[in-house]
Structure 1
Amino acid sequence: MTETVPRIDDDSGTAPTPPGVRRRRTVLIVSAVALVAAVAVVGALGLGGGGDEEPDAPSRSGSLVPVTRTTLTERTAVDGRLGYGTEIPLPVKATGTVTWLPDTGTSAGRGDVLLRVDDRPVVLLYGSLPMYRDLGLGSGAPQEPPTEQEPPTEQGTGGGTEGGKADPSAGPSATATAAPTELTGMDVLQFETNLAALGYSGFTVDETFTDATASAVKRWQKALGEPRTGTVGIGDVIYSAGRVRIGHPGVRLGGSVGENTLSYTGSTRRVVVDASAADASWAVRGTAVTVRLPDGTAVRGEVASVGKEATAPEGEAGEGAATVPVTVTMKDQKNLGRLESGPVTVEHVGREAEQVLTVPVAALVALAEGGHGLETADGTFVAVRTGLFADGRVQVSGSAVRAGLKVRIPE
């Protein structure tokens, strides 16, 4: 049997391919190229799985959040200063040499000694009426003035005959003195109220200073280590509205009592804000605020008072803005910790939007045509109008926005 050897047409040593076979190979190559191109297009459009995509990539569905209806409150922060308030001079009416002073920062209440003058205590009591006179039993009605026929005699000798002897014929008006009168007034009521609050009794708390009141005063004076006179001198007592915190003295030990012998402040810490006079509408007595301490602690506060006079800015005219002092008090002093003074921030409510549709601010996206929009769970975008921004959320509205709609936070 004879073997047929194909004819070699060129120098390469490769047998020539029949025409039919070449056409089929060309068709297969073109089809393969078209298939690869189609797969590439499908992969680019995201319609097919990509072999190079990481299988552990986080799903974007985990960033979906709902549109919620809530009340947004805008808070504005202003600078303030924590302290005990402005120091006010105590109305010390005792005269003499200062022999003892308390330490600055000492708290004093009813019955406590504020200072000593000529080694006599000056005691704190509560009240609004200042001490303006001595309190005690009156000296009684004065003796009748002498007549022209009976010239006055030396003090203590009585009226009548030569040598200072009393004239038996003289009437009782010449030698008798009336019983001490009982002092009356609102200052007596104020003092007796304090005396009773200190635990002394045996008298009626009213506007009359009686023998019973004097007896109670003597017991009080004995407790203070003072002479039992039964009379309260004008310089023995200082009144205040409540507890006080001792400020800086204006005199040293051994100095004479003056107008600024000793100052005081309130005993509770408060915050003073120099609010802009043009934007102080928030500062209304009773308004709730938040006081934020330097360490970030938030303490509830309340506007206690607002100044009625604006303070002009310092420096050249036109610089800065006029301010009014706003005092903020905090009922829970324990939350303030041990901080007695320093800069703080006071946050007050500005604008408020009640029961509006809101989303996290991070959910907003910028649209190519302008404005803002939200991306929904199916990848479509809806345009929205924004309103109030507060607490990391934003008010949104639009025809396609509703409560419960799931929107995506871009990653």
Structure 2
Amino acid sequence: MTAPLRASTVLPAPPAVLGAATALLDAYRPGDRFLATPRRTLLGEGVAVRVPHDARPLTERVREVLADAPERTGDPGAVVMGSVPFSPDAPPALAVPASLRTAPALVEDPLIALPVADGPRRDWQVREVPSGAEYGRAVADAAARIRAGEFDKVVLARTLELTCGQEPDLPLMLRRLARRDPGGYTFAVPTGPRRTLVGASPELLVSRRGATLTANPLAGSLPRSTDLAEDVRRAHSLLESPKDLHEHAVVVEAVREALAPFCSRIEVPEHPTLVNTAAMWHLSTTVTGELADPGTTALDLASSLHPTPAVCGTPTGLAREVIAGYEPFDRGAYTGMVGWQDASGDGEWVVTIRCAEAEGALLRLFAGAGIVGASSAEAETAETAAKFRTFLNAVGAAL
């Protein structure tokens, strides 16, 4: 029997306290679960209970774990935190922390503006998988197949494998990422034995707060410039780019179609706006709606969306096959989702991009680009290089 949802008593908006959010950021240690969003900062320590991997729908397993958690932990305010991988067959890395500390959003904490102390200099060795040239050839081939009518869009990714002879300093990376884009979604969660997913995503997949849902698909991107005039020109050109506007419209329509069955009302702006990170400009649309059934959870909504065309392509099944044919690596948690949900069904789930997985002394970075018929190998390769910059800057490395 499906466990009923409880009234939300878990994560009210914390009162603003100077230094509260940055204190949680500074307290993070590998093995913890850290997530900072524009609404709150969460730090989960230890594991009370893990979400199992079996044949049941993930949403059912999470409901059951949250329903049982108060009896097992003595905490009526339990949440599930962690990540869900790109592949539907791979196990999730979700758990109820043994203890949970919350604070207001990092962006509201003035101390987030303070610089991060430099760690020891590291001599990173960087290996491209595939190389930029190989990636460009894959982009050109996929674009030609799209123009021939085989499929509509595919997102192709590549990785950088970084090594320096010792394990990376994950807390330092996390602090640098959070300070670079404090208004985004910064995370560090364990995904396996001695394996950690860490990153700073600009993209909210979906959130639920009571009966209100919000999704913020991003698709269509350009690298930013350090020259102010050129940066403004690039932002304006992105807003008028037929290629990027088409790519964005495909994603927004897919989001609307997935969420509409859950809603009594859904609102989708007619035109996208611009959002920026330190490295990129993105076309953005904020979709809002009211739930028809109050029993629909944040993870129900996220599962209906995952993966969006922004990280996979269209049609979804065919795009997955195309990705498997071109990408010489397993995406793992990349382009999955990371977030939290409480027993009432409220939660926030973020698209897992601008990220890396650390395993032992290996740090693997991921970046991808949406390929349509008008895509060029040079532009998409440059876009992935720009997206890598977020993480490369956080570790003190260069491509």
TM-score grouping bracket, smaller chain normalisation: under 0.3
TM-score by length of 1: 0.21
**Would you tell me which structure has more helix in proportion to its own residues?**
2
